[in-house]
Amino acid sequence: MGFRSVHDLDVKGHRVFLRADLNVPLKEGRITDDTRVRETLPTLKFLLEGGASVVLASHLGRPEGKGFEAAYSAAPVATWLAEHGFDCRLASYVVGASVEAEAASLKPGQVLLLENLRFEKGETKNNDEFAASLARLADTYVNDAFGSAHRAHASVSGMVGHFPKDRVAAGFLMEKELKALGKVTDHPEKPLVVIFGGAKVSDKIELIQNFLGKADAILIGGAMSYTFLKAQGFEIGKSLCEEDKLEMSLDLAKQAKAKGTRLLLPLDHLAAVAFKADADCAITLDENIPVDRMALDIGPETIAAYAAEIRAAKTLLWNGPMGVFELAPFASGTLTMAEELADAADRGAFVLVGGGDSVAAVNQAGVAARMSHVSTGGGASLEFLSGLELPGVAALSK
């Protein structure tokens, strides 16, 4: 993997700085969804049970970076950890003499949760002085915040160089994400089929380009497909289209052909007269969409063609819905893809789902648990799959 795992660390008697992703939704001072906290618990427990004390740190929301803001305090996370049996206290602030004293007084098995890292502008600016002050709080560094790995922030990449190489490691969540993503990008078992959907081609250009020549087939759905279709001369009616990306879409199709990747576009659509759940809708006869209608989902012929590709694949990646699945009449394409991918995983194919909407779709379809891996990394997953270097990962690898 190019970096040390937390498994490889001897942490007994050490004080570990654990960068986690505890950016949880809050309402009236309580956590409304504790998924992100729970995801880092295996790493936290491993460190504590191994005889370490832990300085735990994360950002939370988007404070201004001008000091303490009650609305963005990490206090609810400290409360949650205490309620779930951890010997955890909230630090008086993020850095400074008093925080250093609080960290120094930790005993093995205890946790000091720092206040929201983004209370200090030095975090997002990757200020070296701020990074050094964070590093003074511990002698070992573990990063388990894969969801923040694409940000060149002080706690993610800047402070890592302040620790000896053999005292730096990736947490279990970080490791799990990178292994799963690497299975798709580095040495996928073929055939590799990727399914890209969502609204904009512009959001997926680097992602598509990274899989040209790697993937056997790329299946395109969602609103981005209408830009591709219009570029190729089809009528798209009132459907969404990125007019400034028509040339780019043609170019991607040409590159795919040259590199031996089949780029599949919808063969038919479910098109409605308006963007409403109760709007009059009909299946189109072919790729063309009537002038008075907008396509809001892929049609049955497309679903069948895409399902056949999925069934033949050994490695699959899904990023982005096939239509407006939030509205029941236009959810069939997306939910059928979710079912087909779950069946593929059941048969032994490696199936990776990444991206907020795709994750929401597999949850809606009730098949998330059947997938090989559901990436919760958001922007970090997208950048990794696009072939971009993640600052947080690069720092660990050094």
- At residue 7, does pLDDT exceed 70? yes
- Give per-residue pLDDT as tens, 192-201: 999 999 989 9
Rg (CA), the chain: 23
pLDDT at 336 over 80: yes
From the list 50, 182, 378, 379, the catalytic residue is: 379
Which is the catalytic residue, given 200, 259, 314, 378? 200
Q: Which segment of 157-166, 351-360, 387-396 scores lowest on mean pLDDT?
A: 351-360
Measured between alpha carbons, how far is 186 from 188 in angstroms, rounded to an integer?
Answer: 6
Q: Tell me the mean pLDDT in the region 7-32.
A: 95
Under 8 Å between Cβ of 390 and 384: yes
Above 80 in pLDDT, residue 176? yes
> What is the rounded (10 degree) CA torsion for 209, 214, 215, 221?
-10
Homologous superfamily of the 188-385 domain (CATH): Phosphoglycerate kinase, N-terminal domain (3.40.50.1260)
pLDDT > 90? residue 355: no
- pLDDT tens-digit readout, 33-52: 998 999 999 999 999 999 99
Give percent above pLDDT 70 in the chain. 99
CB 57 within 8 A of CB 117: yes
| 200 classed as catalytic | yes
Tell me, yes or no, if 36 is annotated catalytic: yes
Whether 379 sits among the annotated catalytic residues: the reply is: yes
Per-residue pLDDT, 349: 98
Give the residue extent of every domain in the chain: 6-174, 188-385
Mean pLDDT of the chain, nearest integer: 96
- Tell me how far apart the alpha carbons of residues 118 and 386 are, in angstroms, rounded to a whole number: 27
Across the range 151-161, mean pLDDT stands at: 98
Which of the residue ranges 25-29, 103-107, 124-128, 231-235 would you say has the lowest mean pLDDT?
25-29
Q: Which residues pair with 287 in a beta bridge?
A: none
| Identity of residue 54 | V
Report angle CA 289, 300, 290 to the nearest 5 degrees. 10
CA angle 11, 16, 20 (to 5 degrees): 125
Please return the burial class of 32, using the count of CB atoms within 10 Å of its CB with bins 0-12, 13-18 and 19+: exposed
One of 15, 19, 36, 238 is an active-site residue; which one? 36
For the domain made up of 6-174, give the CATH fold: Rossmann fold (3.40.50)
Residue 79 reports pLDDT greater than 90? yes
pLDDT digits (tens, 9 = 90+) for 56-69: 999 999 999 999 99
Owner of token pair 């993503």: 181
| Continuous segment of H or E residues that includes residue 247 | helix 246-259
CB atoms within 10 A of CB 278: 9
Q: Is 1's pLDDT higher than 80?
A: no
pLDDT at 75 over 80: yes
User: How far, in Å, CA of 224 to CA of 240, rounded?
Assistant: 8
SS3 content of the chain, % helix, strand, coil (to 5): 45, 20, 40
Beta bridge partners of 351: 316
